[in-house]
Structures are given as C-alpha cells and as structure tokens.
Structure 1
Amino acid sequence: MQSQIYTNYRLLLPHEEILGTIAVREGIIVDIQPGVVSQGQNGDGNYLLPGLIELHTDNLEKCISPRPKARFPLELAAVNHDRDLISAGITTVCDAIAIGDVTPKDDSLRIHHYAAMIDTIVQGQAAGRFSTDHLLHLRCELGYEHLYDVIEPYSEHPLLALLSLMDHTPGQRQFVNINKYKSYYTSRHGVPEAKMDEFIAMRLDNQRQHALANRQALVKLSQAKNISLASHDDATVDHVRDAIAEGVVLAEFPTTLDAAKEAHNHGLLVLMGAPNVILGGSHSGNVSAMELMKLDLVDIISSDYVPRSLLQSVFIISQEANQPLYEVIKYITLNPAKAINLDRQIGSLSIGKKADFITVHDDGVVPRILEVYKQGDRVA
C-alpha cells in the first residue's frame, strides 16, 4: 500500500521541532524525516502535531442539557458532543460521566440517566458513529448512597479508562469558601437561596454517612481490577497523602499550591484546567493553573467544560512560561496517554504509533485547526 506523505510541516516531535516530512501507511506512522520533499501534501510551514487527548470533560452533559430544563435526545447530543471534540482537535477522549448528583433532582442526569448516557457512548463507538475515540471516565460522588452498586458492574467494561473520587461537600476542597459554594449552586444548579441552609445540611449528612465507605470500596475495586484512579480537588497535603496511599495516579484540579506540590513531588500526574489557563485563574478562587505551570508542577491540561480551550491553552503556556511548543504539547498529548496506559499507541509523533494528528495555523493571535486526521484519514 502506498504511503501518504505530509511534507513542509513544522513537526512537533517529542524532543524537538523540525521542518520536515511524515509518512503514513495503513494508519500508522512509518517514517519521519527532516526536510521537504516534492511529493505528498504540502503543509506550507504550518504545524503538525499529535491528536489531542482529553481525560476529563463533561461536555456531553452540556450537549444533552444546554439549559437546565432542556433535554436533547441522547443520540443527537452524543454526536454533537463528538463533533465538538473532533473540531477541537481531540482525537481520544475519556467522557466524564458523573455518578451521584449534588442536588436531589427528579430529572438528574447523574442519578437517573447515567446508564443511558454510557450506553449511548458505547453504542456510538461500536457503530462507527463517532470521529473521536471515546473511552469512559466515571466520576464518583462519594456522598451518593448507591455509588458503589452503580460503579461495580462497569468495573470490567472494555471502555472504562479512569475512575475519579469526588467530594463536593461544602466547606472543603473546591468549596472551602461557603459563600462561593452558595453562589455557585444557586446560579448553576438552581438551589433556592431560602433552601440553601437545608441543602448544605443534607450534603454534610450524606458525606458523613457514605463518603468514607464508598471511598474505601472504590479504592479496593480499582486495585483489584487495575483501573487508573484519580483524586479530585485535593486541597491539603493530607488529602494528597491519602490519595498516594490509595494508589491514585492522577490528581485532578488540586486547589492549592501545597496540594499541587505534594502531588507532583510524589509522582502523581497533576491535571489542571485549560479554562483556568486562558482566563488567568480559577472561577472558584482556587490556585492559578499558570502559577503552577511556571513552577513546573503540572503534567496534564484538560479542557474541562470548553473543548476548544485545550489547544489555545498550550500556546499561551508556551509564550508565558517561555517553553518550546514541542515541550508543552505533552500536557495535552503524551502525558494524558500515559495516565491511561495508551502511550505506546498514541500521544506523540513517533514511528509505529497511530497516525492521529492535527494541522494548525498560528497567526500569532489565535491558533486555528486546519485539519484533523484519525489513523491517516481526514475526519475534520
């Protein structure tokens, strides 16, 4: 089979940037060389870099329910979600499906519709309906009474890549500041101000009754089934030390400098949000992602709730942290691949890996994705 040739591109390789040529055969990268050749697709000096890898995005929820009382059909929402991702250059995603809501709503996606959401992703992936490769990231709200009973049946699912341990109880982790907690849940989740004290008391009671037992059971399950485990919103050194003892490999969104230092220094992969980078800080008032980047305490960037923020963030990091672009793209390619044990297949422009890559034009203002390829075939 004849090779596909891509030449005159700025190739962002694992350890350098070169103006060169890449060859693909049967969906696999078979050669990478410096210099420009006379055949193949001419990139006119634009960037060519690995497809982006996303470990934590709840964009599917947004596509299902773009407004609090609106519900789009699941199949349509999943396809729209997939198009959001692939157009943002994300070629592999761990869809974050939250189990256990923070509010006891009768129509809660996170309590009543999680199974249908998972089934829609699994069926769409099997049917070839998606352009991005979809995996599952089950987000476990520890105060939810029935959490373990929901998670355990999925523990050997072939698409399950990650479990994360979440605790959104007011007064700690992401919401140390109670006033910010109240503001967030009245505006985002529609909790009436008059009911807020009752709501907080309910959340505290749920944590006291269920969080510890759920955490212990899920840690044991992850170890028995060899599932990558993440902590979430660690705020203190003790939070991180607990996570290390539990076998956590990924620290999602540490909220303080001390927690990020402790996690990074003990070998956990530290994940921060691209919106935090772009906006210059956390919407919850927590530690700045860019501050942590400049201290070399971050390993992975996630788009979180804005898929198109992922690529933009690394261009900002490269400029503000004065790091070469070929180094900072590892935060959205190779490092997340390592976190879910896929780095032998994807995550870098390397001979023998899948030809998942994107081409990008940078005009110095906003980097613009030109094309997206999956195993050598253009998909966007």
Structure 2
Amino acid sequence: MYLITNGRIVLENEILIGYDLAIKGDIIKKIFKKGEFNLNSEYEIIDANGGYIVPGFIDIHSDYIEHMAAPRPTTLMDFELSIREAEKQLISHGITTMFHSLSLYKSSEFGNNPIRNPENVCKFIDLIDESHASKHLIRHRFHARFEIDNLEQVDNLKNYINDDKVHLVSIMDHTPGQGQYKNLEIYRETLKGYNNLTDIEIDEIIENSQRKDKMTIDMIREIGHLANEKGIAFASHDDDSIEKLDLVQSFGANISEFPITLEVAKEAKNRGMFTIAGAPNILLGGSHSGNLSAAAAIQHDSIDILCSDYYPAALLHSIFKLHEEYGHDLSQMFKLITINPAKAVNMDDEIGSIKENKKADILIIEKIEDHYPAITSIFVDGKLTLKTNYRV
C-alpha cells in the first residue's frame, strides 16, 4: 500500500497539481486532494519531489530483444537470460508492457540474423508465453512481424495465433521499390551500409527481391480474419498509398505502422486506424529511411502512437522534446505511449491511464536538469519495482 504525494498527476486530458494517489494491492485505489484521504500506518509514503506521476509506457513495436539475444551476427546468447536482462533495461526506461516484435523473415538482404531463424523465434515465443506465469518485471507480449515472402511459415503463424501466443500481428513487405524502400536510391545506400556491394550486385538483389513468391491476397486476408476472431490487433506496415490502405483494411487491419507519407498518415487516421511512428524519428529529426517525419505528422495530428522501434530510451525523451521544443500539451503527448497503444491492442480496460481501479502501472519522472527527465520510481501491478536515487 503506497501513497504518492507531492507530484503532478498526468491524466488523459489534464495534469492534476495538489493531488495525491493511493495504491492498494495491484490497483489505483484513489486520487484525491492532498490531505483528504484517511491514511493508516500501512501506507508507505512516496515523495514525487515535484515530478510527474504518469502511467507506465506501453511499447507495441520494438525489436530490442533481438539485439539483446544476438549482439553480434555470429553471437547467440541464452534466450531466457536475454529476456531477463532485456526487461531490466526496458523497465529502467519506463516500459512496463512490451510487445516484443519478433520477425518471421524468410531471408534478408541486410545480413543474417540468427534470431530470425524459425526455431529461434519459436523458442522466444514459448518463453514469452511462459513469462506470464513466472516471476517477471514487466508484461511480455508477442508481436508477430510476418514478411509476406515467408510462405513456409504461414501455417506456424496460424498455429501461434490459435494457441493464444500472439498479441499483435503485422504483415510486412520490404520489397524494394515500394513501402519503406519506395526510394530505390535510399535502399541502395542502406544496403551498402551493411555490405560491400557493387551497383551490379545491388541491381541483382533488387531484381531477385521483386520476383520472390509472396502470400496471396486471400492468404493475408485469412490471417487478418483469424486475428480479428481472436481479438488480436492486426497491423499493416509501411503504407505508401491510399490504395494500400483500402487493401489492408479489407484484411481487418486497425493499425497503420510507419505510414510513408503525411497524406497516407492523415487518411489512415481519418479512417479510424491507429497510426504509429518511431520515437527515434523524433530525436533524430526525421526518418532514417527518408520517409515521414514523425514530428511533422504529430503537428498535423496524424500520429496516435509512438514506439521505441529499436531504441527504448527514445520514448521518454521524445515526449519531452515534443512538449518543450514543439510546444505540444504534455498530457496529450503522454497519450502517444500510454493510453493510445493500450487502445490499439485492446488493453485499455486495465492499463494505459491513471484511473481509480485500473492496474497501478505508474512512473515518477523528475527533472534532474532543466532539459533532462529521469524516471526515479516505477510501479508495476502496484509493486514498487525500481527506485533510482540521483546524487550530487
């Protein structure tokens, strides 16, 4: 039982000052004006030191676990060790619910990643599933990122969904000439950054990629409908045209991950889809692939969700950058990494906002310097899981 006092409580549409928050068991018991709650000695007082009291972050797209398990192309760490060490890092960045975005690729032109071998993906899926009933720091969920040329794994994906081991599905197509790599010159430069290739070799890679056999429309539609029947969110990836939005919505997609242009992002949101951009895009000042600027899209109210993508620290710092440098309302910006992703993946009844009787996933964020926010206390399911004390 905890009482958090002397902080600014960030609700969905306002920030409360002069209020306290009581946690009992795993839920938020009460929000009340300071001094009005009849406390007993069982409550431990947590001083927020004037900081922000916010919901735990919900990250629905991140391949960070792949980097933890395979820090080098030829190095493979123990998978259980990787998950346990990854969650220690993730919780320190305020991420209390993580959708591990494991990729089901057939092959990649950007080098071999052993984590993406089918047997290794399967091991990780089982470990994520087992984590729900074992000791853990954060909520682990599985985001199945499925590349449409991976025909051999379609049945396995269906089995994972039917076995209730999948919590989000996204269908991806990284064929050069469309989507993320619509600009072939950027694709060429990206390939050269991974491999020492000649222009002729890159031309062959592009031609071979464009000729690969891929899932049919009916096959993708079947996956989408299966996910919808199970109540699992279904996402498209790298939408680059209005026509593609028409197509993915016919599959049952409710999320548009990384729309390529502002026009597409606006239209996806107008259609009621949740739109996602990467938080690193905010910190870097634009897309590393030369596509949509997340900050510009947020200025046009066309992005609903920020994800860490590959850099967990970006969630916290992108929110404060949007507030301090772009002038956005802070409570509205926090929704990008709390209640909005919770709604997109059907978890908003329990987590994603500070409300009485919701799960007590709560962070305290203090400014240790004028422009440096730091997370100093973290609660998950009402447990004080991590506390950090900065020293002078």
Shift of the alpha carbon at 1:279?
A: 0.7
Cα separation, partners in 2 of 1:185 and 1:34, compared to 1, 3 Å = farther
Q: Secondary structure at the match of 1:317?
A: helix
User: Are 1:26 and 2:31 an aligned pair?
Assistant: no
User: Are 1:371 and 2:344 an aligned pair?
Assistant: no
Identify which range, 99-108 or 170-179, moves more after superposition. 99-108
The equivalent residue for 2:291 is 286
Q: How does 1:238-253 map to 2 (within 5 A)?
A: 238-253=243-258
Shift of the alpha carbon at 1:58?
A: 0.2
Shift of the alpha carbon at 1:348?
A: 0.5
Between the aligned partners of 1:350 and 1:212, the Cα distance in structure 2 is 42
Identify which range, 241-250 or 25-34, moves more after superposition. 241-250
8 Å CA contact 2:106, 2:149 repeated in 1: no
8 Å CA contact 1:101, 1:108 repeated in 2: no
Q: How does 1:154-173 map to 2 (within 5 A)?
A: 154-173=160-179
Shift of the alpha carbon at 1:357?
A: 0.6
The equivalent residue for 1:263 is 268
8 Å CA contact 1:100, 1:110 repeated in 2: yes
The equivalent residue for 2:390 is none
1:293-349 per-residue CA deviation (whole Å, 9 max, x = no partner) reads 000111001010001110111111122342221121011000100011111100011
Cα separation, partners in 2 of 1:59 and 1:191, compared to 1, 3 Å = farther
Cα separation, partners in 2 of 1:295 and 1:249, compared to 1, 3 Å = same
The equivalent residue for 1:5 is 3
Identify which range, 65-74 or 232-241, moves more after superposition. 65-74
* Runs of 4+ with >6 A deviation: 104-107
The equivalent residue for 2:77 is 72
The equivalent residue for 2:157 is 151
Shift of the alpha carbon at 1:351?
A: 0.2
Between the aligned partners of 1:21 and 1:124, the Cα distance in structure 2 is 33
8 Å CA contact 1:360, 1:367 repeated in 2: yes
**Amino acid of the structure 1 residue aligned with 2:384:** R
User: Are 1:42 and 2:47 an aligned pair?
Assistant: yes
Shift of the alpha carbon at 1:286?
A: 0.3
1:161-212 per-residue CA deviation (whole Å, 9 max, x = no partner) reads 1100100000101001112212323434x47446433322332122x44354
Fraction of identical pairs, as percent: 33
8 Å CA contact 2:220, 2:251 repeated in 1: no
User: Are 1:187 and 2:193 an aligned pair?
Assistant: yes
8 Å CA contact 1:280, 1:288 repeated in 2: yes
Shift of the alpha carbon at 1:158?
A: 3.4
Between the aligned partners of 1:131 and 1:169, the Cα distance in structure 2 is 37
**Gaps in structure 1 of 5+ consecutive residues:** none
TM-score (norm. length: structure 2): 0.90
Q: Secondary structure at the match of 2:162?
A: coil
The equivalent residue for 1:118 is 125
**Gaps in structure 2 of 5+ consecutive residues:** 387-392
**Amino acid of the structure 2 residue aligned with 1:283:** H
How many aligned residue pairs are there? 375
8 Å CA contact 2:285, 2:293 repeated in 1: yes
Between the aligned partners of 2:196 and 2:175, the Cα distance in structure 1 is 15
8 Å CA contact 2:285, 2:295 repeated in 1: yes
8 Å CA contact 2:225, 2:252 repeated in 1: no
Cα separation, partners in 2 of 1:106 and 1:257, compared to 1, 3 Å = closer
Between the aligned partners of 1:321 and 1:379, the Cα distance in structure 2 is 33
Between the aligned partners of 1:179 and 1:224, the Cα distance in structure 2 is 41
Cα separation, partners in 2 of 1:379 and 1:191, compared to 1, 3 Å = farther
Aligned counterpart for 2:108 among listed residues 103, 108, 111: 103
Identify which range, 96-105 or 303-312, moves more after superposition. 96-105
